[in-house]
Amino acid sequence: MVKPHPLAPSPDGEGVPEDGRPIVLPVGVLALQGDFARHAEALSRAGLESREVRRTGELRSVSGLVLPGGESTTYLKFFEREPGWGGALRQFAESGKPVLATCAGLILIAARVDNPPQASLALLDVDVVRNAYGRQVDSFVGEATCADGSSMEAVFIRAPKIARVGASVEVLARESSDPVLVRSGNVFGATFHPELSEEPAVHRRVFGGGRSADAAAPAPAARADSGVASR
């Protein structure tokens, strides 16, 4: 059964009904571009309800937020047309609600972006290099090693690399020596596509609903529909 993600009451009482119990809100998935539907499926596998977010006002109705991969410059072009998004996302992150940014989403929230340089929201103190693993044909299914030595599948598609990790940022998993899953407080960033793996370990780690990424099961075999090679 799908389990909605609970939201703690805010200091001003917003979202708290008369009986004092907190309202149960879903996890939001920013549905402006990218494979947001696959993130919704991953959240469902983690036992969490989700909803697509297409307007800034809808951020008030979710308990957490996924910023999907896709194309980071598409995000920026959309934000130019709708300038309220940058401030709304920054305010959401500062509220303490969990945020998961994957691939292009990580590029969007990084402190600095190279290859080429581009604007970003600077919500996470990391520097990233775009397309550092190569082009689409260089995509692959790898294995990320978590801090406790366990492993999980990691699907890399035109993925960025994290070139610098700030002092406030914790590395949760690496592929070879490269940080691929990081965290600073309530904000998480992944260079890979966790929504493409059957085991929703990363979504559970960020939003609850089951085992953490550090307790993930061994990586399943690459699926025929993944479009990327194993290595």
Q: 124: part of which helix (H) or strand (E)?
A: strand 124-129
Q: Which of 49, 195, 199, 203 is catalytic?
A: 195
Contact criterion met (CB below 8 Å) for 210 and 44:
no
Residue 82 has pLDDT above 70, yes or no: yes
Question: Which pLDDT score is estimated for 98?
Answer: 98
103 is catalytic: yes
* Residue 112 identity (one-letter amino acid): R
* Strand positions, DSSP E, 147-222: 151-156, 161-165, 170-175, 178-184, 187-190
CATH homologous superfamily of 27-131+160-215: Class I glutamine amidotransferase (GATase) domain (3.40.50.880)
DSSP state of 217: P
| DSSP state for residue 135 in the 8-state scheme | S
Beta-ladder partners of 141: 155, 230
Residues 6+ apart with CB under 8 A from 31: 52, 53, 54
Q: Is the pLDDT of residue 3 over 50?
A: no
User: Does the annotation count 146 as an active-site position?
Assistant: no
193 is catalytic: yes
Does residue 178 contact residue 159 with C-beta atoms inside 8 Å? Answer: no
Other residues' Cβ atoms within 10 Å of the Cβ of residue 4: 15
pLDDT at 212: 38
What is the rounded distance in angstroms from the CA atom of residue 134 to the CA atom of residue 136? 7
CA angle 36/217/156 to nearest 5° reads 45
Place of tokens 């692959």: 140
Residue 224 predicted with pLDDT over 70:
no
**Out of 5, 39, 146, 193, which one is annotated catalytic?**
193
Confidence of residue 228 (pLDDT cuts 50, 70, 90): low
Q: Which of 103, 146, 175, 199 is catalytic?
A: 103
Q: What is the pLDDT averaged over residues 109-132? A: 96
Contacts of 123 (CB under 8 A, 6+ apart): 89, 90, 93, 99, 101, 109, 187
Q: What's the pLDDT score for residue 213? A: 36
pLDDT number for residue 161? 97
Across the chain, what does the average pLDDT equal?
Answer: 84
